[in-house]
Structure 1
Amino acid sequence: MKKQLWTGLIAVFFVGNSLMAQEPIADGEVLTLQESIQLGLKHNTEIKKAQLDEDAADHQRKEITGTGLPQVDAYGDYNNFLDVYPQAIPGGVLDPNSDPSDINVIAFGVPQSVKAGVQVSQLIFSQSYLVGLKAAKTSEEFYQLMTRMTEEDIIYDVALNYYSVISTELQMDNLQANHDQLKRLEEIIRSQYENDLARKVDYNRVKVNLTTLETEMDNLEIAIEQRKNYLKLVMGIPVNTEIELAPYDFSDKSLPLQALQMDPDLGQRYDLKVLEKQQELNDLNVDNIKSGYYPTLSAFADVNYNAFSSEFDFLSTGHVWYRGALVGLKLSVPIFDGFQKKHKIAQARVEGQKIKYDQYMAEQNAEAEYLNAVKKLNNSIKSLKAQESNLELSEDVFKQTGQLYREGLSPLTDLLDAETSLRQARSSYYRQVINVKTAEADLYKSTGQIEKIIKN
Structure 2
Amino acid sequence: MKTRFICLSLLAGLLSVMQAGAQSLTLEECREAALEHNRTLRDSRYDLEAALQTRREAFTNYFPQISASGGAFQAQHGLVQADFGLSIPPLGEMNLPVSLAKRGLFGSVTAVQPVFAGLKIVNGNKLARLGEEVGQLQLRRTEGEVREQTDTYYWQIVSLKDNLSTIEAVERQLAEIHRQVELSVAAGLVTRNDLLRVELRQQEVASNRLKVENGLKVMKLLLARHIGVDWHGFDVATSAWDEPEAPGNCYVPVEEALDRRAEYLLAEKNVEAQRYQKRMERGKRLPTVGVGAGYLYYNLTDKDVDDGMVFAQVSVPISEWWGGAHALKRARIREEQAENDRLQAREMLAVEIEKSWSEVQEAYAQILLARRSVDSATENLRENRNFYEAGTAPLTDLLDAETLYTESRNNLTSACAAYRTSLARYMRVTGR
TM-score normalised by L of structure 1:
0.83
**More divergent stretch after superposition (61-70 vs 129-138):** 61-70
The equivalent residue for 1:116 is 107
Alignment of 1:235-254 (within 5 A): 235-238=227-230, 240-254=231-245
In the alignment, structure 1 residue 184 sits paired with structure 2 residue 184: no
| Aligned AA (2:102) | P
Aligned to 2:203: 211
2 CA distance for matches of 1:26 and 1:258? 39
Which range moves more in the overlay, 332-341 or 196-205?
Answer: 332-341
Whole-angstrom distance in 1 between the partners of 2:242 and 2:73: 91
| Paired amino acid for 1:369 | E
Q: Give how far 1:338 is off.
A: 4.4
Structure 2 CA distance for partners of 1:430 and 1:287, relative to 1, 3 Å: same
User: d(CA) in 1 for partners of 2:150 and 2:322?
Assistant: 53
Letter matched to residue 208 of structure 1:
L
Where does 1:275-314 land on structure 2 (aligned, <5 Å)? 275-308=267-300
Listed one character per residue, the Cα deviations across residues 181-225 of structure 1 (whole Å, up to 9, x for unaligned) are 112222232233234344211111110100011011111211122
How do 1:29-48 residues align onto structure 2 when only pairs under 5 Å count?
A: 29-48=23-42
Q: 2:247 aligns with which of 235, 256, 266?
A: 256
Shift of residue 277, structure 1, vs aligned partner: 0.6
CA contact (8 A) 2:33 2:227 kept: yes
Which of 345, 357, 377 is the equivalent residue of 2:360?
377
Q: Indicate which of 151, 165, 171 corresponds to 2:157.
A: 165
**Letter in structure 2 aligned against 1:109:** L
Residue of structure 2 equivalent to 1:131? 123
Distance 1:105 1:418, change over 3 A: farther
1:281 shift after superposition: 0.7
1:424 deviation in Å? 0.8
Say which SS state the counterpart of residue 247 (structure 1) adopts. Answer: coil
Deviations 1:66-111 (A, max 9, x none): 122133333321011111134456xxx642469xxx9968444232
Q: Residue 425 of structure 1: CA displacement?
A: 0.9
AA at the equivalent of 1:385: L
Q: Deviations over 1:239-280 (max 9, x none)?
A: x44321222432434233212356651121111111111111
Kindly indicate whether residue 58 of structure 2 is the aligned counterpart of residue 64 of structure 1.
yes
TM-score (normalised: structure 2)? 0.87
Q: Which residue does 2:325 correspond to in 1?
A: 342
Instruction: Write the letter of the residue equivalent to 2:135.
Output: Y
1:76 to 45, 56, 70: 70
1:289–1:345 Cα contact (<8 Å) kept: yes
CA separation of 1:195 and 1:120: change in aligned 2, threshold 3 A: same
1:144 matched residue in structure 2 = 136
Distance between the aligned counterparts of 2:68 and 2:76, measured in 1? Answer: 27
Q: Work out the CA distance in 1 between the residues paired with 2:244 and 2:31.
A: 23
How far apart are 1:435 and its partner, in Å? Answer: 1.7
Q: Distance in 1 between matches of 2:285 and 2:115?
A: 16
Residue 214 (structure 2) pairs with residue 231 (structure 1): no
Alpha carbons of structure 1 residues 165 and 327: separation in structure 2 relative to 1, 3 Å: same
Quick check: 1:163–1:434 contact (8 Å CA) kept in 2?
Answer: yes
Match of 1:397 among 380, 383, 388: 380
Whole-angstrom distance in 2 between the partners of 1:405 and 1:189? 10
**Whole-Å separation in 2 of the counterparts to 1:441 and 1:105:** 96
- CA deviations 1:340-398 (Å, max 9, x no partner) are 22222222222223323322322221111122122222222222212111111111121
Q: Is the CA contact (8 Å cut-off) linking 2:271 and 2:342 kept in structure 1?
A: no
Whole-angstrom distance in 2 between the partners of 1:374 and 1:43: 30
Find the counterpart in structure 1 of residue 14 from structure 2.
Answer: none
Paired residue secondary structure (2:290)? strand
Q: Secondary structure at the match of 1:249?
A: coil
| Contact 1:64–1:132 (8 Å) recurs in 2 | yes
Residue 413 (str. 1) matches residue 396 (str. 2): yes
Distance 2:411 2:233 in 1: 28
What SS does structure 2 have at the residue aligned with 1:294?
coil
| 8 Å contact kept, 2:155–2:421 | yes
Are 1:85 and 2:79 matched, yes or no?
yes
Preserved contact between residue 267 and residue 273 of structure 1 (Cα < 8 Å): yes
| Identity level (%) | 21
1:84 and 1:109 in contact (8 A); partners too = yes
AA aligned to 1:367 is A
- Change over 3 Å in CA distance of 1:249–1:96 after alignment to 2: farther
Decide whether the 8 Å contact of 1:131 with 1:284 is kept in 2.
yes
Aligned residues: 410
Asked if the contact 1:264–1:447 (Cα under 8 Å) also holds between the matched residues in 2, the reply is no
Change (3 A) 1:231 1:291: same
The answer to whether the aligner puts 1:386 opposite 2:369 as a matched pair is yes
